[in-house]
Structure 1
Amino acid sequence: MSDMAMTADAVEMAAERKTPKWRNWLMLSVPLLLALVGGYFWLTSGRYVSTDNAYVQQDKVSVSAEVSGPVAEVFVRENQRVKKGELLFRIDQRPYRIALAQAEAQMKAASVEVTQLQTRSAGTDADIRGAESNLGYAQRNFARYSELLDRGFTTRRQYDDALHDVEEARERLANARASAANAGAALASGGTSNQPAIEAARVAREKALLDLKRTEIRAPADGIVAQSDRLQVGNTVVSGVPMVTIVRSDDIWIEANYKETDLAKMYVGQPAEVEFDAYPGMKAKGHVASIGAGTGSEFSVLPAQNATGNWVKVTQRVPVRIRIDAPTSRPLLAGLSADVTVDTKGGAER
């Protein structure tokens, strides 16, 4: 029996010697690791707020013409990148060139009319001087006949004729002065260039030139051409109706719609991390640029009316604008879905 007991003890001691030491370390490290992970989540709980209700946004400019007419030429295509001032399309210019020619002809006609008025005004001065001279002569002649009549050396008829000549001379002088007043009223002071008729013709010419220039529609900003289906040669352009859209490439942001309960510790300037559904693995650093002035439902076309008996409280969403701090390795397209995480402990409270 003693030999058998010694054999059992030897087997047990051999088994203990064969047990690897790393197993003991593993048994101790697992609880320690769980404790560390639990402590990390306890310390960081509530620090990060995330949402997957976020989308890439870009400014979109609807381009319309300020004049109407058929499209004569198209210089861009869908998804083409353009620079500010680049020609997009041209409207048929022929009607506007004719209008410009008419305005220039009206300007010349106005210049001729003003010259005629000036000549007429100068002529009225001579008419007034002649009428005044005739009146003086008639008055002197009438005075002589009046004296002769008193002495009995003339007839009543000759006296009446002299009086009639004086009245006619006065009437001619009044008419000459009225014509001069009318000619002066038609002319403005300051020379030929300041005359109302010439100014009106000049304004009409400038409008014709502006309309002709507006037949060439150019890109209002750098960006990418979109929604250009209606931009076809022969299509009629109506003033004020958008024909094409330019998606601006110089201003990109993320609009993250956070629950109102996530805003308690959120401030402008806090760092954020953005992931994109279209580009798995790509992350972008950003920051909170602004927090919306109202919830999404508040600015909807038909805001919710909660003054009813069966009202149910719903957590509202507030748009938070996230700015990307550095260019990304892949292009950010308007409307892409994103996941945004904001570090509410980072940055400074504002």
Structure 2
Amino acid sequence: MTNENPNNDAAAAEKPAGARRRLKSRKMLFFLGLAAIVLAVVLGYPLYLGIMSHESTDDAFVEAHVVSMSPRVAGHVARVPVHDNQWVEKGELLVQVDPRTFEVALDIARARLQSAKAAMEEAEAEVAAARSLMAQRAAALSSNRAAMAQARAGVQEYTAGHDRDENDFKRMDEMVEAGAVSRQEYDHARAQAAVSRAKLQSAKKNIDTQSAQIRQAQASAQAAGDGLRQAQAAVEQRQAEAREAEAQVRQAELDLSYTRITAPCAGFVTKKSVEPGAYVQVGQKLLSVVSRDVWVVANFKETQISGMRPGQPVDIEVDAYPGVDIKGHVDSIQRGTGSRFTLLPPENATGNFIKVVQRVPVKIVLDRPNGEDGRLLAPGMSVIPRVNVAVQSDDNRSACAEQTRATAVQ
């Protein structure tokens, strides 16, 4: 008869139960590992796609149009009707310089202009008088020349009469000796010859007189011409003085207008450093006007821009508004690295060269106007842009531009 050990039976029964527990534990670990792998794939694949299709940088800041306002004339400040961070419209008064000094200067310039115009009118009247005198002298010269022509014609006439009478007298002289003519006829011929001779001499003296009168008339006409030219020169001088006076009036008007410093564009008043009563110099910075229109300048590494194109969409995360993504698009890429446009560009041709990855500024424009969603961006804010470089077509840029224009019109 065989004796059975109860301890051996219990050990044999425990072995299958332990194997089942180990098998169950392995299955559970397998399923947990599989679930972890699936979860890692589900969660990691979008992250992988995002890393492969997006480029981002934390070297990015908000930029805007910042206009520094400074006076163009020196003087005391009369009033400053704005305060820091105030919104102003284009053309709104920012600073008023005391205009009284410039108003007086304008009055003086206008008085000088009136005096110059009066002097010019007087000079023009002198020119008219000189022209009238010259016309009179020219008429007198023409009259003297006509008289000279008449005198010469008279000389010719008297010469012919004198020759005739002389010939008649000579014939009478021959005939009187022969007794062919009477003594009375002879005396008459001699008297007639003497009269013709006297008339011829008088006509010749008249020519001399007319010549002297012509010379005098020519001298008078030349003097009148010189006077006319002098008067015309005086008119030109007065006209130049009048133009100079007009320029001084315009300059005085400009100086007076410069006493009103107005906003060149709509924006916010920033860094106001002027108060009423202060004396300001030309070019002194008084305040700045920051436009509402902003954009982002992101300095990407040169190894990141190979796939960037204008128009690609950008998600912008602003440090001031965590958890909020602002939509934008790439506007342009600067043609040159940031170091190339510094004040002192590096000279790599001298000394030892160490290669450093350069940064290229990329301009990113917002798709919606700044502050439309209640989140106002200011220049200098830090942002983190993520550019979707998977979009290679410029069609998206056109769509973004159209959307921006449509939003601006609304």
Whether TM-score is above 0.5 comes out as yes
Alpha-carbon separation, structure 2, partners of 1:277 and 1:125: 85
Shift of 1:218: 0.6
1:342 aligns with 2:397: no
Match of 2:231 among 158, 183, 187: 183
Are 1:224 and 2:230 matched, yes or no? no
Deviation string for 1:309-331 (max 9, x for gaps)? 53221111111112222244321
Q: How does 1:1-350 map to 2 (within 5 A)?
A: 1=6, 26=32, 28-128=34-134, 130-131=136-137, 151=198, 168-187=216-235, 196-230=240-274, 232-238=276-282, 240-249=283-292, 251-326=293-368, 327-346=372-391, 348=393
- Alignment RMSD: 4.1
Question: CA 1:216–1:41 in structure 2 vs 1: closer, same or farther (change >3 Å)?
Answer: closer
Match of 1:298, SS? helix
Cα distance in 2 between the residues matched to 1:138 and 1:266: 95
Whether contact under 8 Å (2:144, 2:213) holds in the other structure is no
**Unmatched segments (≥5 aa) in structure 1:** 189-193
- Between the aligned partners of 1:288 and 1:132, the Cα distance in structure 2 is 83
Question: In 1, distance between residues paired with 2:144 and 2:46?
Answer: 122
- The residue matched to 1:78 in structure 2 has which SS? coil
CA shift in 2, pair 1:117/1:305, >3 Å? closer
The structure richer in helix per residue is 2
Query: Kindly tell me: are residues 112 and 54 of structure 1, through their superposed partners in 2, closer, same or farther at Cα, counting changes over 3 Å?
Result: same
Please say if residues 292 and 320 of structure 1, whose CA atoms lie closer than 8 Å, have aligned partners that are also in contact. Answer: yes
Distance 1:236 1:219 in 2: 18
Which structure: larger Rg? 2
How big is the shift at 1:127?
2.9
Distance 2:11 2:290 in 1: 89
CA change 1:39–1:72 in 2 (3 A) is closer
Distance 1:91 1:168 in 2: 67
Distance 1:6 1:247, change over 3 A: same
C-alpha distance in 1, partners of 2:147/2:230? 30
Task: Give the distance between the partners of 1:54 and 1:305, measured in 2 at CA.
Answer: 26
Q: Distance in 2 between matches of 1:77 and 1:43?
A: 50
Segments of structure 2 that go 5 or more residues without pairing to the other structure are 1-5, 159-194, 396-410
* Structure 2: distance between partners of 1:170 and 1:349: 87
- 1:131-157 Cα shifts (integer Å, max 9, x gaps): 45766579969x79x999x84999xxx
**1:107-151: per-residue Cα shift (whole Å, max 9, x none)?**
22123223222322232244335545766579969x79x999x84
Q: Is the Cα contact below 8 Å between 2:79 and 2:275 reproduced in 1?
A: no
TM-score, normalised relative to structure 2: 0.68
CA distance, structure 1, for counterparts of residue 105 and residue 51 of structure 2:
72
**Is the 2:63–2:296 contact (alpha carbons within 8 Å) kept by the matching residues of 1?**
yes
Q: 1:280 to 1:12 in 2, by over 3 A?
A: same
Q: Distance in 2 between matches of 1:45 and 1:133?
A: 103
Report the structure, 1 or 2, having the larger strand content. Answer: 1
The alignment's TM-score, normalised by the length of structure 1, stands at 0.78
Equivalent residue letter for 2:303: T
The structural deviation recorded for 1:44 is 4.7
Q: Distance in 1 between matches of 2:288 and 2:96?
A: 16
Q: Indicate conservation of the 8 Å contact 1:260/1:317, yes or no.
A: yes
Cα–Cα, structure 1 residues 75 and 38, in superposed 2: closer, same or farther, change >3 Å? Answer: closer
Q: Deviations over 1:150-172 (max 9, x none)?
A: 84999xxxx99998776555433
Corresponding residue pairs, total: 334
Deviates more, 1:285-294 or 1:117-126: 117-126
Q: Deviations over 1:241-288 (max 9, x none)?
A: 433211111x21111111111112222222211112222222212121
Q: Once the two structures are superposed, what CA deviation does each residue of 1:276-315 show, in whole Å capped at 9, x if it has no partner?
A: 2222222212121111211111111121222345322111
- The one-letter code matched in structure 2 to 1:173 is A
* Match in the other structure for 1:191: none
